[in-house]
Amino acid sequence: MLGSFRKPPEKLAALERVKDWTRERFRLPEDAAILVSEVACSLPGCPPLETVVAFWTNGNKRHQFKAFKPPEEVTQDDIPFDWLMDSLHVPDTNFCECC
């Protein structure tokens, strides 16, 4: 069962490359959490594969961006400029007003 989750070396290298470019672009420390994922979408108008990047700064401040292509096709030009970091912030949403 675990074998079905293995990614080819080319995919792993592409994911790592996007992670490294993100760390470099936003000048993130080595211990900063960065998550790079390939996401499939079957909704009309949605690209079949996209690369989603999330990273955290200042403790729990989460930032996120997407490239509407698979990780193997992402280039450094697809990584947002560092001065856009504040606009990439994803605020925590609390769906329950009681907590």
Kindly report, residue by residue over 15-74, the tens digit of the pLDDT. Answer: 999 999 999 999 999 999 999 999 998 889 888 999 999 999 987 899 999 999 999 999
DSSP H helical ranges for 9-92: 9-25
pTM: 0.83
| Total tally of structural domains belonging to the chain | 1
CA 35, distance to chain mean position in Å, is: 5
Alpha carbons 31 and 39: distance in angstroms, whole number: 25
Position 97 in a domain: no
Q: What confidence score (pLDDT) does residue 87 get?
A: 93
Position 94 in a domain: no
Position 98 in a domain: no
pLDDT bracket for residue 99 (50, 70, 90): very low
Q: What confidence score (pLDDT) does residue 1 get?
A: 44
Position 43 in a domain: yes
Position 96 in a domain: no
Domain that holds residue 22: 2-88
Q: What confidence score (pLDDT) does residue 94 get?
A: 52
Position 25 in a domain: yes
